[in-house]
Amino acid sequence: MNVRTRFAPSPTGSLHIGGARTAIFNWLFARHFGGKFILRIEDTDRSRSTEESISEILDSMKWLGLDWDEGPFRQSDRLPTYQDYAKKLLGSRKAYRCYCTPEELEARRKEAQSQGRVYRYEGNCRGLKSHPQGVPFALRIITPEVGSIEVEDLVRGNITFDAKEIDDFIIQKTDGFPTYNFAVVIDDVTMNITHVIRGDDHLANTPKQILIYDALGFEIPNIAHVSMILGSDKAKLSKRHGATSVVTYREMGYLPEALVNYLTRLGWSYGDQEIFTKEELVEKFTLENVGKSPAVFNPEKLVWLNGWYIRNKPLEEIAELVMPFLEKRGFKISPDGRLIKIVESQRERAKTLADFADSSDYFFVDDIEYDEGARKKFLTPEIKSVFETLIEKLTALNDFTVPELKRIFDEIIEEKELKLVQVAQPVRVALTGGTASPGIFDVMEILGRGKVIERLNRAISHIMNN
């Protein structure tokens, strides 16, 4: 079988990480079997679909590295195709015109609710012998009143639906646009989709789609429903659990490899292995290892995984990725190689690309601001003479390098009978404004002799004026 999978987002907002995981599963399955991955935009909801969302979804897919072989196809460009198939069902008497107005249907729905029952269309228009002229109509498919509808799900096994629970549902609205379930079936058939892999929130759509396949005489593709992604409280993942869109994780400084790795492992496993290259995922991914139970999203685990990828990428690549985050904060990056040194000094502590920018401001600004608590604790009159001695030694230093800086600190510690922390922490506050930074000698070497002496002098002036 020539495997063909698809991802079909609705462009009514950003690409949700649940949708991203569905796209990843479909992409991996197609790549594993040497098949095709098709991208389709389901934009028939004209009131909610936007070009901005389409653009953002495509950008997110590209950023994740999910290249598609065909598409992106738009449902809005395929209206004649849907209408042709709807006419076939009408002509074969497997569908009929429904003239019930939205107001009439809503009144019946409210009446059913008042009686404590679920409303199902009664089939009022099913047996009409004559048709009023000039009156708008929708098309409804004729559904069985008894029996069952079965599907062999590749993840969940055999699933049975009671046919009487499904009314004669609409396949084409009065404006000529198809309904979701009808368009999906026609698209999957005409695009030769062999495997439909989607979230189990679509499970309720499955019996309706099977009825459409049967009515048109089409072969039903292989279907697999993967579990939902839940928050830590086991509720459906939402914004209250944190970021939920791919673009937000990108803006927060996550790497696409980390997000793909993490989302793939939500509901899929391969022994105890946690970290995979994309090539390994393609090689090992099958639906047999996709679990039935809902997957719980763990932000801390994603942060850890992202930190691992940051630590294991080439420095030059991380520096290039960090640059937009620094520029967004208004920092000017000089082409002198300092950025790679900054990245090297920070990346053992950084968990995201944004972390680099958030913790590196003192390397790029002219004037730093002291943390108030750190200033009071460390920029004291007692440290003034230490700073003055340090400035004297730094001025006379030939090589402004980490080994030489260490040597000078050792000399000062011995001369003044101090511990390293009693010198290093005040210097750190003077140079960075706070008490947390990479190794103080690395910071000094990156800042350079001129900037270090300038900031030490400024700290001395601050001590004298306070």
Per residue of the chain (466 residues), what is the pLDDT tens digit? Answer: 799 999 999 999 999 999 999 999 999 999 999 999 999 999 988 778 899 999 999 999 999 999 999 999 999 999 999 999 999 999 999 999 999 999 999 999 999 899 988 899 999 999 898 888 889 999 999 999 899 999 999 999 999 999 999 999 999 999 999 999 999 999 999 999 999 999 999 999 999 999 999 999 999 999 999 998 988 887 777 766 666 899 999 999 999 999 999 999 999 999 999 999 999 999 999 999 999 999 899 999 999 999 999 999 999 999 999 999 999 998 888 767 889 999 999 999 999 999 999 899 999 998 899 999 999 999 999 999 999 999 999 999 999 999 999 999 999 999 999 999 999 999 999 999 999 889 999 999 999 999 999 999 999 999 998 7
d(CA 19, CA 263): 10
d(CA 225, CA 276): 23
Contact (Cβ atoms closer than 8 angstroms) between residue 145 and residue 163: yes
Residue 346's CB is within 10 A of a number of other CB atoms, namely 21
Contact (Cβ atoms closer than 8 angstroms) between residue 205 and residue 180: yes
Q: Please report, in angstroms and rounded to a whole number, the separation of the first and last CA atoms in the chain.
A: 80
Among 239, 278, 284, 406, the active-site one is 239
pLDDT at residue 291 in the model:
92
pLDDT at residue 244 in the model:
84
Q: Mutual orientation of helices 17-32 and 51-64 as an angle, nearest 10°?
A: 50
pLDDT at residue 242 in the model:
62
Q: Give this prediction's pTM.
A: 0.91
Q: What angle do CA 387, 364, 339 make, to 5 degrees?
A: 105
pLDDT at residue 243 in the model:
66
DSSP state letter for 178: B
- Half-sphere exposure (Cβ direction) of 377: Cα atoms closer than 13 Å: 13
Encoded amino acid at 445, one letter = E
Q: In order of start, what are the domains of the chain with their CATH numbers?
A: 1-72+227-312 (3.40.50.620), 80-172 (3.90.800.10), 315-362 (1.10.8.70), 372-464 (1.10.10.350)
Contact (Cβ atoms closer than 8 angstroms) between residue 20 and residue 259: yes
Q: Is 239 a catalytic residue?
A: yes
Beta bridge partners of 384: none
Q: 398 burial class (0-12, 13-18, 19+ CB within 10 angstroms)?
A: exposed
